[in-house]
Amino acid sequence: MEAVMTLLVGLFFVVAIYLFLSKQIIRILLGVAILSNAVNLLIFTSGRLTREVPPILPADGSAADTFIANPLPQALILTAIVISFSFFAFLLVLGYRAYQELQTDNTEEMRFAEPDDQKMPPLGY
């Protein structure tokens, strides 16, 4: 099962990088979402995929006879899901606001939408 999950994580990383290299902002945002899911799956896979084995030690404090699931990656993933959702929502609003101001979602056209007549900000103090 770990081999399948590793291939899936690799595929997610490839798709995310491909979407990052696009010129449309919505594709870049989808790449961010897929990348966060790839990282979550990578952390989850690193915590061993064992079935029907809870991440609980025996009551007497002795070492477990079999491999047990690691609860730390699961806790990290729950935190990462909340953070990545809020980050994605921020990027979505930022992209929508840029689209409203510039009337385009193409990054090449956004670069040339800067006005030329404005003076440069101060470069030093």
Task: Summarize the confidence of residues 28-47 as an average pLDDT.
Answer: 90
**Residue 1 reports pLDDT greater than 80:** no
pTM above 0.85, yes or no: no
Residue closest to 110 by CA, chosen among 16, 21, 24: 24
Task: Summarize the confidence of residues 72-80 as an average pLDDT.
Answer: 86
Residue reference for tokens 């099962």: 1
**Residue 43 reports pLDDT greater than 90:** no
The burial of 119, by beta-carbon neighbours within 10 Å (0-12 exposed, 13-18 middle, 19 or more buried), is given as exposed
**Residue 13 reports pLDDT greater than 90:** yes
Cα distances (angstroms) measured from residue 101 to each of 19, 21, 113: 23, 23, 10
19 in Cβ contact with 55 (< 8 Å): no
Quick one: angle between helices 25-46 and 71-102, nearest 10?
180
The domains found in the chain, sorted by start residue, are 2-51+69-111 (1.10.287.3510)
The CA distance from 56 to 61, in Å, is: 11
